[in-house]
Structure 1
Amino acid sequence: MSEHSSKEIQGAADRPLHPQDAAANAAQSSRLVIRDKRHPIPPSDNPAIPAFPDRATEHMELVTYRSGRLDYRLHPLPDETVPPQAAHVDWLGFTLVPPPGKALEWVFQEMERLTTLAVTEIRTTGWNGYMQSARLGEFGIVAWGGRHQRNTIHVEINGTGCARIQDWRGLAAWGNALESKISRIDLARDDFEGRVCNIEQILAWYHANGFNCGGRNGKLKHAGDWTDGTDGRTLYIGTRAHKLLRCYEKGKQLGHPDSPWCRVELELRGKNRVIPWETLDVPGQYLAGAYPCLAFLSAVQSKIKMCQKAAAMSVEVMTDNASRLSGKAINVLMRLHDENAATVVEKLRRDGIPKRLVPYSTGLPGAGDQDADA
């Protein structure tokens, strides 16, 4: 089964996953667009580069099939010295077979119970080899059916949906009990001040062999705005076929050219790799264990703080845009209605929130208090 990714190279935004035609999705997920190749990435001249230990990041298991074919499976190794919640899950895809006596409706009910994500639309179109699919609102998909899918059901939850899940431990226990297979997981760490995790530091660690896996660093690529930096820069280390680390300037991606906010994000795929369900419960340890240089993950992350900060920044950009586009119109309306702001607001107000705020709606005022653990 081919795997789906809707994260684009330009900053890896948390955009909703919309199930589309399988061929179109496959074509999009396989295209890695690298821009600004005219601007080479020089080694950092930062003198404070630590010596990274040459340690194993994954355990290899050799598997022999009945046909005599020999293959391998990689098992990620967590860094148990790092707090479990030093990172958060930012994408999750998995495949399962319902237990005897259970059908598709049971999967829908379990998804709503465990993740609070409900099916909003049953589609007649498929997804990545599956014949049919259903949308989990703006937060993911469930796909099923097809001659070669062996009665499996696939669930894909994007970054927006993951931000809404509270009981990761319960979801992990459920997945383990069903012996379902994780096909993709993204683990993310935010540095709001950009003090430790930033583009320059990641480059310095790269040139100091901090991303050594199997005797050498992963392949380095770059994308984004490397000319003046106002729209944000992105670094990629490794490949999607193995494991891929993204470091990008999250605040600039959200529209703030002076923001220092950076994010480190690890994408693991389940092909020739066993991703344990335990990863959902201790994402910080598995992110830290992925590369020798990531032991800097020493503090617990607050998912709510991330949502609040992103919401505040998005609201500021939204306000600037609204003022630029509608400010004069509001000025005219105020004159027509004798400076009665309540009347003008009532005429302009619409239900809902802007699409760019959907991933961070839990961070908006009045959204209610939530547990700060990832």
Structure 2
Amino acid sequence: MAMFRRLPVSDGTFHRSSAGIAPIGPNSNTGQKSNLSRPIIDAVTVVFSSDEAKAAFRKMPLTEILRYVFGTGSSIAVGGLQDKPFNFYPRSAVMVDTTGKIAGKIGVNDQGHICISMMGQGCQHVPNWRHVADVLDAVKGRITRTDIAVDDLTGETFNLQTFLDMHAAGEFVSNGRPPSSQFVDDMGSNKGCSLYIGQKGHKQLNIYEKGKQLGDPESLHTRCELRLYAKRLELPNDVLRNPGQYFKSAYPALVGFVVGEATRLLVKHRMINASWKAAERFLRTQGGTMLNLCFEALGEDATQYLIQSIVRPGRPGRFKGFVGDLSAHIREQVEVKNENHD
């Protein structure tokens, strides 16, 4: 893969880099960092094929199995079983959460084997991953894939350039061979670049500009996502109890990034911030002049007119997947912005 080197952040472009450049990793491996998230389980696929699992789930509908394993309560519902193949299972059902977003899929075969694939949308509803691991141990369930994510909310400790330089310096070489890699450039659109290191189906890193992906071109929020597959290595259930241990064990170069203290809630807060900034920019660009004309023409009656004739229920698509008190998050963003203006 051709290597690139990023100019100062204001430029936002990438240029060729020599392999001799030293990596820009963290200055210290000790002490927690508030800009880094704790390692987060962002996707998981589990399979139940043992006699213990068959006995435990024999009379349970799929929704109850999901709740029993993941503890999601009523936050995720399972649709009807359809004759649609999924992961080599002939029948499948879709999981949908309370926001109406797809949370994952469930596959079933004639032997009574069950495959539950939980996407990132669904993972945010899981209250206790240790409980999930305990259930898997009890019924001899096994993990076939899991994604572990660490976010740098401010880009202070790592960004895409950090990993480009580490790759150029050979820090991801395994058994004397460099892993396959791919760099996806947004060509200056500020929609976010991505870097893939490793092989899909085995072990792969995906580093991407999360804030820009969510619509904030000025965001430095970067996500490093480790994807582990059971195709060539064993994935013990303990990975759900100690995701940080498995994250840093995948590549020695990742050790310094497992020092975060930011919770999943704070990561979600930053994601809402990026999406709100994008929505605000869209409204100003597409409707700002029209709103100005409305207030100019109607004066004090403009607000009532907009509420009665323009505003409609629901959420914009970019916000439909967020769980929790979205209004409170947005109010806080607006208040902070107003304080900064003052």
TM superposition score normalised by structure 1:
0.70
SS at match of 2:127: coil
Aligned position for 2:155 = 194
The answer (yes or no) to whether the contact 1:308–1:362 under 8 Å persists in 2 is: no
2:140 to 179, 182, 187: 179
Aligned position for 1:14 = none
- Measured in 2, the distance between the counterparts of 1:343 and 1:170 equals 51
Unpaired stretches in structure 2, ≥5 consecutive residues:
1-13, 26-30, 97-101, 330-342
Aligned position for 1:93 = 45
Q: Which moved more, 1:135-144 or 1:358-367?
A: 358-367
SS at match of 2:157: coil
* Larger proportion of helix: 2
Aligned position for 2:340 = none
TM superposition score normalised by structure 2:
0.76
Are 1:109 and 2:68 matched, yes or no?
no
- Measured in 2, the distance between the counterparts of 1:221 and 1:140 equals 27
- Measured in 2, the distance between the counterparts of 1:363 and 1:197 equals 30
Alpha-carbon distance, 1:106 to partner: 4.2
Aligned position for 1:42 = 17
Aligned position for 2:307 = 345
**Stretches of 4+ aligned residues off by more than 6 angstroms:** none
RMSD: 2.9
Which residues of 2 match residues 249-328 of structure 1 at below 5 A?
249-296=209-256, 297-328=258-289
Letter in 1 for 2:60: E
Aligned position for 1:362 = 324
Are 1:207 and 2:140 matched, yes or no?
no
- Measured in 1, the distance between the counterparts of 2:80 and 2:299 equals 46
- CA deviation profile, 1:50-92 (whole Å, cap 9, x unmatched): 8xxxxxxxxxxxxxxxxxxxxxxxxxxxxxx999x83101111
Kindly tell me: are residues 44 and 312 of structure 1, through their superposed partners in 2, closer, same or farther at Cα, counting changes over 3 Å? farther
- Measured in 2, the distance between the counterparts of 1:167 and 1:364 equals 22
- Measured in 1, the distance between the counterparts of 2:233 and 2:190 equals 37
SS at match of 2:324: helix
Are 1:222 and 2:183 matched, yes or no?
yes
Are 1:122 and 2:80 matched, yes or no?
yes
Alpha-carbon distance, 1:207 to partner: 2.1
SS at match of 2:76: coil
Kindly tell me: are residues 44 and 213 of structure 1, through their superposed partners in 2, closer, same or farther at Cα, counting changes over 3 Å? closer
SS at match of 2:151: strand
Alpha-carbon distance, 1:313 to partner: 1.3
Letter in 2 for 1:349: V
Letter in 2 for 1:280: L
Unpaired stretches in structure 1, ≥5 consecutive residues:
1-38, 51-80, 368-374
- Measured in 2, the distance between the counterparts of 1:122 and 1:223 equals 38
Alpha-carbon distance, 1:332 to partner: 5.6
The answer (yes or no) to whether the contact 1:163–1:359 under 8 Å persists in 2 is: no
- Measured in 1, the distance between the counterparts of 2:326 and 2:197 equals 34
Identity %: 24
Which residues of 2 match residues 142-161 of structure 1 at below 5 A?
142-146=106-110, 150-161=111-122
- Measured in 1, the distance between the counterparts of 2:306 and 2:299 equals 7
- CA deviation profile, 1:284-311 (whole Å, cap 9, x unmatched): 1111111010011222331111100100
Q: Which moved more, 1:124-133 or 1:204-213?
A: 124-133
Aligned position for 2:28 = none
- Measured in 2, the distance between the counterparts of 1:349 and 1:45 equals 57
- Measured in 2, the distance between the counterparts of 1:278 and 1:363 equals 32
Aligned position for 1:135 = 94
Kindly tell me: are residues 254 and 194 of structure 1, through their superposed partners in 2, closer, same or farther at Cα, counting changes over 3 Å? same
- Measured in 1, the distance between the counterparts of 2:91 and 2:290 equals 46
